[in-house]
Copies of this chain bind each other. A is one copy, B any other.
Amino acid sequence: MAFTIGELGKATGTKVETIRYYERIGLLAKPERTSGNYRSYGKAELGRLSFIRRARDLGFPLGQVQALLSLSDDRTRDCATVDALARDHLAEVERKIVDLTALRSELSALLDSCEGGTVGDCRIIEALAPPATSGETQ
């Protein structure tokens, strides 16, 4: 019924330092302490930390996790805000995918152009180097 921080960490796949970090930034409340000053957690904290971890796994930044947590605390509230948060986050993820996909094309084009040889002839270095203003081989 009561867990140490290490048990809580194991149960949620979270490092002990991370749990203490979440406490420090106010994402987790300060837990009770044992006589030996060890943190002591119950089922509620386990639930809360699991929630946090799932949201983080889905890529929600801590600020949004915080928001989701307080939204989930008031079960009578309209779910539209939650929806909007998730939608924003999805848009962000999609933006990143687009960026990375463009990057991938550039990188593989670069790699395709490489035909071995020395750095002097390397297309990759060439592509990175600034546009030659005149004839310069330095």
Contacts and interface: CB of A to CB of B under 8 A. Distances in A.
Interface of A: 43, 46-47, 50-51, 54-55, 58-59, 68, 71-72, 74-80, 82-83, 86-87, 89-90, 93-94, 96-97, 100-101, 103-104, 106-108, 110-111, 114, 116-122, 124-125, 127-130, 133
B59 A125 contact: no
A118 B78 contact: yes
Given A72-B129, A90-B108, A100 B103 contact: no
Nearest to A118: B76
A28 B71 CA distance: 48
B86 A124 contact: yes
A86 B113 CA distance: 12
B89 A120 contact: no
Contacts of A72: 119, 122, 125, 128-129
B107 A76 contact: no
A43 to B, nearest CB: 8
B130 A82 contact: no
Given A72-B125, A78-B116, A100-B100, 8 more contacts: A50-B130, A75-B119, A76-B120, A78-B117, A79-B125, A82-B124, A86-B114, A97-B101
A55 B125 CA distance: 10
